[in-house]
């Protein structure tokens, strides 16, 4: 399939900022300070906070359409999809859940599932036996302890089998509108690259980042950072030369700095490729993901 050109930002009528910046991204003061032989001046905590908040504002312009990349229609579907997303891609989860929710649309239905039949449906997501056990367990707990409704409090959510703090924050932020920071692999990698924290433990990362930003920003900050990590700031080969926030990044140069080569590393809508959701939000400017087996 022929790849299209980088998409336009939703509603703007102008090329997406990240794609446009790929032609002219250059290291800024933060990157320049990291050159060999010129030790970077220690950044004060206040300066770091200001830089972090500016990065968040920049990301809001780059990804005005940032959203959870799991397909869901209600809190139960989001909870199940998030549990399934462990050790796999959101795309594979989204390709798997239509058949799953057709068979088990409610907690009551999933709690009564035959384990082997549930395992077969979720097999494409990997670790299907452990995940099936968690899904049946959390569904039974929702049925027995919460009147068949997914609870809307973190303290209750983390009592469900297979549900930790990260999963609970995803559900609270996106199904209940309760602000939360979701520290997944991408989020942790980027906030350490940006020197917002040196912590490795997810709960400590969450606490330190929460202290930098207003609570009202927590959920969208999480989406923006994850979007950037999946599209530009990759784990093994970040596209530094195509990154519009390069002037604010103290780790500029860890990846490809040549703009032409860096542009080829862009993913999803930034690279003219389909996204991860089969049913993306209306303002998503890219193409939907294909159904399982469709490509």
Q: Which residues make Cβ contacts (< 8 Å) with residue 37, sequence separation at least 6?
A: none
- Distances in whole angstroms, Cα of residue 211 to Cα of each of 45, 124, 173, 178: 12, 38, 17, 17
Its sign, for the CA torsion 157, 161, 165, 167, is: negative
Q: Report residue 260 as tokens.
A: 């032409």
Its sign, for the CA torsion 46, 49, 54, 55, is: positive
Residue from 14, 184, 215, 264 carrying the catalytic annotation:
184
Query: Catalytic site residue 166?
Result: yes
Q: Which residues make Cβ contacts (< 8 Å) with residue 196, sequence separation at least 6?
A: 48, 52, 208, 209, 212
Residue from 166, 215, 261, 267 carrying the catalytic annotation:
166
| Alpha carbon distance 191, 33 (integer Å) | 19
Active site residues: 166, 184
């Amino acid at each position: 399939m022929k790849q299209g050109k980088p998409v336009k930002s939703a509603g703007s009528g102008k090329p997406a900022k990240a794609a446009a910046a790929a032609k002219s991204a250059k290291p800024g003061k933060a990157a320049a300070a990291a050159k060999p032989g010129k030790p970077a001046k220690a950044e004060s905590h206040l300066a770091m906070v200001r830089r972090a908040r500016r990065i968040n504002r920049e990301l809001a312009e780059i990804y005005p359409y940032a959203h959870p990349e799991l397909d869901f229609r209600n809190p139960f579907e989001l909870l199940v999809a998030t549990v399934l997303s462990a050790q796999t891609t959101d795309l594979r989860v989204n390709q798997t859940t239509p058949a799953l929710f057709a068979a088990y649309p409610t907690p009551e239905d999933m709690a009564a599932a035959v384990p082997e039949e549930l395992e077969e449906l979720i097999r494409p997501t990997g670790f299907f036996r452990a995940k099936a056990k968690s899904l049946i367990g959390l569904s039974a707990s929702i049925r027995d302890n919460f009147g068949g409704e997914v609870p809307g409090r973190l303290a209750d959510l983390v009592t469900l089998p297979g549900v930790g703090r990260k999963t609970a924050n995803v559900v609270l932020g996106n199904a209940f509108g309760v602000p939360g920071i979701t520290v997944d692999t991408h989020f942790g990698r980027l906030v350490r690259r940006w020197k917002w924290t040196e912590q490795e433990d997810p709960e400590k990362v969450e606490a330190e980042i929460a202290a930098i930003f207003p609570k009202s920003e927590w959920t969208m900050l999480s989406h923006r950072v994850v979007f950037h990590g999946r599209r530009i700031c990759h784990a093994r080969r970040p596209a530094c030369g195509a990154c519009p926030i390069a002037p604010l990044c103290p780790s500029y140069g860890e990846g490809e700095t040549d703009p032409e080569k860096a542009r080829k590393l862009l993913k999803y809508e930034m690279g003219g490729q389909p996204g991860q959701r089969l049913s993306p939000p209306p303002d998503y400017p890219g193409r939907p993901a294909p159904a399982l087996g469709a490509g």
